[in-house]
Amino acid sequence: MGDLFKELEKDIRYREGLKACINCGICTSVCPAAEVSDYDPRMVVDTVQQKDENLLRDLLKSDTIWRCGECLSCKTRCPRGNVPCYIIQSLRALSIETGLFAESKEGRKQLVVKRTVGDHILKYGYCVYIDEVQNEWYPEQGPVWEWLRENREQTLARFNTSYGKDQAGTLRNTAQESLDDLRRIFDETGGTARFKKIEEFSAKKAAEAGKEFIGDRDEYFNVLNNGEEQEK
Amino acid sequence: MAKSRKNEIWEAYQKEIAEDHYYFARSCIRQNFFPAAEGLYLRILTEELGLDVFDDPRQTSCTGIAYHSGVLPFETIMTVVARQFALMTEAGYKNFVVSCVTSFGIYVEVLETWKHNPDIEKRAREALFNATGKTFEIPENLVHASDVIYKYRDKLGEKIRKRLVNASTGEPLKVVDHIGCHYAKIFPEKGIGGAEFPYVLAGMIDSWGGDQVDYPERRHCCGFGFRQYIIKSNRGYSVANSKKKFDSMEPFKPDLIIANCPGCTYFMDRWQYVIAEMEGKTYGADGYGIPVLTYEELAGLLLGYDPWDIGLQTHEVAVEPLLDKLGIKYNPETKYDGLNGKKLKVPENPACLRIC
């Protein structure tokens, strides 16, 4: 067994996700990602089940593993107790650990995820925070959100929230002590290291593409977020 | 299969919901996109039902959206969950109620992992202690916020001023229930009615006088997709899956959609706006969409709270057609007011979707 498989088998998500696939295809038939993209969870499970190191490497550097939406509808339906989504979670983790995520167009977009919901956790204590959700980035929010957000000192006060306040309640400020706890948990459990890997491998790809890479919403972030990366 | 046997099967999908004394875990999405909802939920539990619920300022995101988007290790989210349990323990509570369906799935998944892998629980405890010096007890009872409203649905049913009935015709309103995938698809035994026939919202519809809409794509995902929504260029995944549901429910002419997941509420509301603007297609009558409410927004409305005080104007799809059907009086002049009646500039009208 190759090194990549040894690493994969250390992951509890992989061990719990793969029992014995009978290739029935029920997972694919209920999969929202398969409905709208070139994605087939049955093939992913079939591929890892072969335990071929080269096929696994190809999978880790492919767009395929980034198509899943992690709804976990497949867990409910599999008649043999496999969980294709858990396998995907383990493949995504290994793809980032090995840097192979940066070899696929979809994998490279993980920088966008890290710099939005990822960084927001350590900055605000929330994955999502109103100050960061501009209509320019999220046009589907529409005019009502624009009204709510532009007038948030007023609207959020009317709804009796704790926005901007150091007290319990909706949208309160997260205390520095709590943010420090999160930072130390991330350091202790590999969250910080994973964020660092995403940034480091992305920096190399940005340099290859000749795009600005200075953090936050830089040129490379926008290229990835807007899906404007040129196919090689 | 005999009907009686079938009923026996579904009896296994009931769950224990504690009577009282809950530690409340908030939702990232709900706080931001429906900012009046959690305050309303706590008001219903404490003022209408007289329950004791602790709202802790020290809690944080469970980090579930980042985890399910593939940027955080399982070890990190397990330890953040452990910290939330430590806060519950420090506060002297044993029952844990979760506002978000993604978070609910995360908490259940972590507890199930620890149950079957004591070594992993041990490592999570060590990681939490090393990082924060905290220790914790496992909650005696862990439920989703909608479970508590479900438990007390008949008690609330005795208090409501309006039932889910068309005030003009006397006919029950047709209500779509949408259950967030992570409520019961991951661990069916943790949801009322399991994954196939979840009854947590349908029970409220039945108790409050409405008719359930049983449409073909009733159990299909709303299309969040975590990273597929976070990344702007991937959002076609999300809107396409929501559209599949809207197209499927449209022939049944629903008066209302209710959801128990903050993300699902958000997507089923916002994607109706997008589909209207992109394709000129609306799913309600007269250029309106189908209103999408959370379960506590619906409860608050039926209890007689002012729709604008409970934040129903923060939805992109206008709720006025629903208010009119229910015979609820409202003041259109105060809809977009700020604090204490301060007049604010009203939202621009979309090109297609009617918002007032």
Residue B124 in contact with residue B79, Cβ under 8 Å?
yes
For B95-115, how does the pLDDT look when each residue is reduced to its tens digit (9 = 90+)? 999 999 999 999 999 999 999
| Domains of chain B, start order | 22-145 (1.20.1050.140), 161-341 (3.40.50.11810)
Three-state SS letters, B142-179: EEEHHHHHHHCHHHHHHHCCCCCECCCCCCECEEEEEC
Looking at chain A, how many residues does it have?
A: 232
Per-residue confidence at B56, pLDDT binned at 50, 70, 90? very high
pLDDT value at A52 more than 80? yes
List the single residue in B70, B131, B271 with the smallest CB-CB distance to A110: B70
Nearest to A197 by CA among A94, A116, A128, A104: A94
Q: At which residue do the structure tokens 């009322």 appear?
A: B192
- Burial of B48 (C-beta count, 10 Å sphere; 0-12/13-18/19+): middle
Q: Does the beta-carbon distance from B68 to A37 stay under 8 Å? A: no
Q: Which of A33, A160, A171 sits opposite B237 (nearest CB)?
A: A33
Q: Do B33 and A140 touch (CB under 8 A)?
A: no
Contact B201, B179 (CB under 8 A): yes
CA angle centred on B137, ends B132 and B143, rounded to 5° = 110
pLDDT at residue B11, as a whole number: 63
Contact A118 B237 (CB under 8 A): no
Round to whole Å and give the CA distance between B39 and B47.
11
Q: What is the mean pLDDT of residues A100-113?
A: 98
Nearest to A137 among B186, B232, B237 (CB): B232
CA distance B307 to B323: 9
Mutate to test the interface with B, among A144, A153, A225 (most CBs of B within 10 A): A144
Which residues have C-beta within 8 Å of that of residue B51, sequence separation ≥ 6?
Answer: B20, B21, B22, B45, B148
Cβ neighbour number for residue A220 with a 10 Å cutoff? 24
Confidence tier at A9 by pLDDT (50, 70, 90): very high
Asked whether the predicted pLDDT for residue B1 surpasses 50, the reply is: no
Q: Tokens 């010096």, residue?
A: B133
Q: What is the pLDDT of residues B224-267, one digit of tens each?
A: 999 999 999 999 999 999 999 999 999 999 999 999 999 999 99
Tokens representing B129 are 């202690």
- Two structure tokens written together for B165: 């009935």
For the cut 90, the answer to whether the pLDDT of residue B54 exceeds it is yes
Average pLDDT, chain B: 96
Nearest alpha-carbon partner for B96 in B64, B67, B62, B133: B62
Of the pLDDT bands very low, low, confident and very high (cuts 50, 70, 90), residue A88 is very high
Q: What angle do CA B231, B232, B238 make, to 5 degrees?
A: 85
Contact between chains at A144 and B315 (C-beta distance less than 8 A): yes
In this predicted structure, the answer to whether residue B13 has a pLDDT above a threshold of 80 is no
Q: What pLDDT digit, counting tens, does each position of A24-47 carry?
A: 999 999 999 999 999 999 999 999
Q: What is the pLDDT of residue B2?
A: 47
pLDDT of B355 reads 85
Interface of A with B in 69-108 (CB under 8 A): 69-73, 75-76, 89, 92-93, 96
Q: What's the pLDDT at A230?
A: 73
Residue B8 pLDDT class (50, 70, 90 cuts): low
Closest in B57, B105, B271 to A172, CB measured: B57
Q: What is the DSSP string of B35-58?
A: TTHHHHHHHIIIIIS---EEE-TT
Mutation choice for A interface testing from B46, B113, B116, B232 by most A CBs within 10 A:
B232
pLDDT at A193: 98
Residues 6+ apart with CB under 8 A from A159: A170, B35, B36, B39, B309, B311
Q: Is the CB of A181 less than 8 angstroms away from the CB of B68?
A: no
Q: B166 with B173: CB under 8 angstroms?
A: yes
CA A141/CA B272 separation, integer angstroms: 11
Which residues does residue A124 pair with via DSSP β-bridges, in sequence order?
none
Centroid of chain to Cα B235: 21
Give which of A11, A72, A7 is closest to B113, Cα–Cα.
A11
CA A38 to chain centre: 18
Contact (CB, 8 A) for B270 and A140: yes
Q: Could B72 and A194 be called an inter-chain contact, meaning their C-beta atoms sit closer than 8 Å?
A: yes
What does each C-alpha distance from B52 to A82, B39, B96 come to in angstroms?
Answer: 40, 14, 12
**Count of Cβ atoms closer than 10 Å to residue B132 Cβ:** 20
Nearest-Cα distance to chain A for B171, in Å, is 31
User: What length does chain B have?
Assistant: 356
pLDDT bracket for residue B4 (50, 70, 90): low
Whether the complex's predicted ipTM is more than 0.90 is answered with: yes
Question: What residues contact residue B92 under an 8 Å CB cut-off, 6+ apart?
Answer: none
- Side-chain half-sphere CA neighbours of B293 within 13 A: 27
Q: Residue A161: list chain B partners with CB under 8 A.
A: 31, 35-36, 39
**Does the pLDDT at position A232 exceed 70?**
no
Q: Residue B314 pLDDT more than 80?
A: yes
| Across B121-132, average pLDDT | 98
**DSSP 3-state assignment of A7?**
helix
Q: Which of A30, A60, A188, A226 to mutate to test the interface with B (most CBs of B within 10 A)?
A: A188
Average pLDDT, chain A: 96
Amino acid at B257: I
Q: State the average pLDDT over residues B40-68.
A: 98
CB nearest to B316's CB, from A11, A116, A142 = A142
Give me the sign of the Cα torsion angle A76, A81, A84, A89.
Answer: positive
Token pair in block for residue A22: 């009978």
Q: Six-digit token pair at A89?
A: 């979670």
Rounded to the nearest angstrom, the minimum Cα separation between B342 and chain A is 8
According to CATH, the topology of domain A3-106 is Fumarate Reductase Iron-sulfur Protein; Chain B, domain 2 (1.10.1060)
Distance from CA of B140 to the nearest CA of A (A): 24
Mutate to test the interface with A, among B231, B267, B305, B343 (most CBs of A within 10 A): B231
Give the strands of the sheet with B256-259, arranged side by side. B211-212, B174-178, B256-259, B292-294
Helix (H) / strand (E) element for B322: namely: helix B320-326
> Dihedral angle at the C-alpha atoms of A106, A65, A86, B10, nearest 10 degrees?
90
Chain A: residue nearest B87 by CA? A178
Q: What's the pLDDT at A12?
A: 97
In the block, tokens 């349908």 appear at: B202
Does residue A5 belong to the interface with chain B, where contact is any CB pair within 8 Å? no
- At A125, give phi and psi (nearest 5°): 85, 0
CB-CB neighbours of B154 under 10 Å: 13
Q: Please tell me whether residue B101 adopts helix, strand or coil conformation.
A: helix
CA atoms within 13 A on the CB side of B336: 20
pLDDT value, residue B196:
87
Gyration radius of chain A over CA positions: 20
Across the A/B interface, how many CB contacts are shorter than 8 Å?
A: 270
Which has the closest alpha carbon to B221: B178, B160, B275?
B178
Amino acid at B69: S
- Please state the rounded mean pLDDT for residues A200-222: 98
3-state SS, A181-213, equals HHHHHHHHHCHHHHHHHHHHHHHHHHHHHCCCC
Contact B38, B219 (CB under 8 A): no
- Parts of chain A belonging to CATH 1.10.1060.10: 3-106
- DSSP secondary structure of B270-283: HHHHHHHHHH---S
Nearest Cα residue in chain B from A229? B233
